[in-house]
Amino acid sequence: MNNTHLINLTPRHFKILDLALAGWTNKNIAAHFEMSQTQVSIVINSPMFQHQFAMRRSNLEEQMDSKSVEHLDEATLELKKNATLAAKKLVKSLESQNELIVLKSANDILDRTGHSRVLKENKVITNVNISEDDSKRIVDALLLDKEI
Dump pLDDT digits (tens) for 101-138: 888 888 888 887 777 655 556 666 677 788 888 888 88
Q: Give the whole-angstrom CA distance, residue 99 versus residue 120.
A: 11
The pLDDT assigned to 122 comes to 64
Residue 148 lies in a domain: no
Does the structure show a pLDDT above 80 at 70?
A: no
Residue 139 lies in a domain: no
Residue 133 lies in a domain: no
**Nearest of 39, 37, 15 to residue 26 by alpha carbon:** 37
Looking at per-residue confidence, does 97 or 79 come out higher? Answer: 97
Residue 131 lies in a domain: no
Does the structure show a pLDDT above 60 at 94?
A: yes
pLDDT in tens, 33-66: 999 999 999 999 988 899 989 989 888 888 887 7
Residue 121 lies in a domain: no
Residues contacting residue 39 through CB under 8 Å, at least 6 positions apart: 30
The pLDDT assigned to 29 comes to 95
Tell me how many domains the chain contains: 1
Q: Domain residues for 63?
A: 4-112
Residue 132 lies in a domain: no
2 Rama sector, left if φ>0, alpha if ψ -120 to 50, beta otherwise? beta
